[in-house]
Amino acid sequence: MIGIFDSGVGGISVWKELYALMPNEDFVYVADSAHCPYGRKSADEIIERAKKISDFLIGKNADIIVVACNTATAAAIKYLRSHFSIPFVGMQPAIKPAAVESKSGIIGVLATAGTFKGTLYMNTITKFAANIKVIEQTGDGLVELVENGKISGDEAEQILHKYINPIIAAGADKLVLGCTHYPFLIETIKKITNNALAIINPAPAVALQTKKILYENNISNKNNSGSNTFFSTGNTETMKMLVQNINKNINDTNFITHDI
């Protein structure tokens, strides 16, 4: 059983890649939408939520947990790995591929304030982007847009223009998405930028790492059955919409509101 959690529905973008790579595995997803967004919370608050949700997922027989949230990874992954005995996979800022592939020597990073403050992000910048100019942009309001299902339209375009126009003006040719909610805005980003930026989503790499750990620890699903259960601490409507856009065969009864 693969457990996944995020501050809300953003981690569905990670589940999408996990499911595409390992459709026969069993997945349990938790969207902590009642406490979203995490970006403005303290590290202690995020650790408390991450621990409660991890306890819940382990109670559902999770053998591995994917922290499908950049902010929660930055604040809580070290604690989770020390507190629990099962493996945890976090979101790695995709700075390295952006820096290596950039032709202009300038990259943009769109993330939450919590991610930018994290040691993991700062260490990654130091290690892989010492000779690259990094334009950092905090995406205030974008998580809330996605949580409300507003992944296209005038409101999304206006906010994205505000954040991405300065990145383009600075000469960036790569845009790193530093929040798992943001991949749901990729089509709108492409539209407003006329594909001027190559968009880098770390979720596929996280799925590959999860599969590697499953096989190394011999905890992959031997029954080849495959199941998906989606919990939310808040409203499930946006989650249903996003999941069913990915796979219309997912049964509605798998979406459950649950207080954690």
Residue 18 host element (H or E): helix 12-21
Helix (H/G/I), strand (E/B), else coil: 153: coil
Nearest to 72 by CA among 14, 22, 129, 145: 14
69 is catalytic: yes
Alpha helical stretches, state H, 170-251: 186-193, 203-216, 237-246
Is-catalytic flag, 36? no
- As a whole number of Å, the CA-based R_g of the chain is 18
Could you tell me if 38 and 70 are in contact, meaning their C-beta atoms sit under 8 angstroms apart? no
Asked whether 179 and 10 are in contact (CB, 8 A), the reply is yes
The three-state secondary structure class of 108 is strand
Q: Copy the structure tokens of residue 143.
A: 């998580």
The one catalytic residue in 62, 72, 109, 179 is: 179
Which amino acid, residue 95?
I
CA distance linking residue 208 with residue 196, whole number of Å: 28
Burial environment of residue 249 by CB neighbours within 10 A (0 to 12, 13 to 18, 19 or more): exposed
Which residue in the list 69, 76, 89, 110 is annotated as catalytic? 69
Active site residues: 69, 179
